Amino acid sequence: MATPLEFTEEARKRAAEILSRYPDEYRKSAVVPLLHLAQEEWGFVSPEAMACVARLIGCSPVKVAEIATFYPMFNKEPVGDHVLAVCHTLPCALTGCGDIFDHLSDKLGIRLGETTEDGRFTLRKSECLAACDRGPVLLVNRKLHTHLTTARVDEILDGLEEG
């Protein structure tokens, strides 16, 4: 049995603030924002993290697992330091997102959904990121990069390497 996870003091304060946004009898509404918090805290949402969220809400862990497994944004397994998500929906496909994805894949030596051996990068495809006029686009962690070319992608990656 894995040791139970607990939020840090600071995260617990944020969790309390999130819970205060919903009427007390409907604490379960906070499950998605709390899962985001858990993911920020631990990088991915493990069963132990789900149990931690469940304790805060006061429901059974399986109820939280039901939600966490539905949404694509919650990582169920550890991911790299930088998650790269290339939008591959029609408007970006028309503007050449395929080349961007292949370039990333070749450069990093990983395929869709994989993480580099050094644990720095995870490569993903994303559904429409609602920046269709600026395609192709790439979401790097929390930041959106637009008007991509392969040269621009190299610059972005170099920037991450330094940072």
Partner 1 sequence: MAAPLAILTAHPPAGTDPGDIEAYMAGGGYGAVRKALTTISKDGLIEEINASGIKGRGGAGFSTGMKWNLCADLYPRYLCANADESEPGSFKDRLLLESKPHQIIEGMIITSYALGINLGYIYIRGEFFQIIDQMEAALADAEKHGFLGKNILDSGFDLELYVHPGAGAYICGEETGLIESLEGNRPYPRLKPPFFPAAIGLWGQPTIVNNVETMAQITTIVDMGAEAYKQIGTEEDTTGPRLFGLCGHVKKPGIYEYDSDVTLRELIYDAGGGIRDGNRLKGVIPGGISAPILTPEEIDTTMGFGALGKLGSMGGTGGIIVMDETTSMVDALLNASSFAAHESCGQCTPCREGVPWMNDILRRIHNGRGRDEDLDLLLDICKQIHGHTVCVFGQAPGVWPVRTILVKYWPEFRACIERKERVVLPVEESYLQPDQYEHIPPVPGNFRMKTNEADAAG
SS3 letters across 25-89:
HHHHHHHHHHHHHHHHHHCCCCHHHHHHHHHHHCCCHHHHHHHHCCCCCCCCCCCCCEEEEEECC
Residues 123, 110 contacting (CB under 8 angstroms): yes
Q: Of 76, 68, 80, 84, which is closest to residue 125 (Cα–Cα)?
A: 84
Nearer to partner 1, 15 or 31 (CB): 31
Q: Which is nearer to partner 1, 69 or 154 (CB)?
A: 69
Q: Which is nearer to partner 1, 80 or 91 (CB)?
A: 91
Compute the least distance from the CB of residue 1 to partner 1, in Å: 27
Q: What are the backbone dihedrals phi and psi of residue 73, each rounded to the nearest 5 degrees, phi first?
A: -75, -15
Angle at 107 between CA 101 and CA 113, to 5 degrees: 50
Nearer to partner 1 by C-beta: 120 or 125?
125
Residues that bind partner 1 (CB under 8 A): 21, 23, 26, 28-33, 35-36, 57, 66-67, 70-74, 88-91, 93-95, 126-135, 139, 142-144
Q: How far is the CB of 82 from partner 1 (least distance, A)?
A: 14
Minimum gap (Å) between residue 5 Cβ and partner 1: 20
CB of residue 101 vs partner 1: minimum separation in angstroms? 13
Instruction: Find the length of the chain.
Output: 163
Least distance from C-beta 65 to partner 1, angstroms? Answer: 11
Is there a contact between 134 and 95 (Cβ–Cβ < 8 Å)?
no
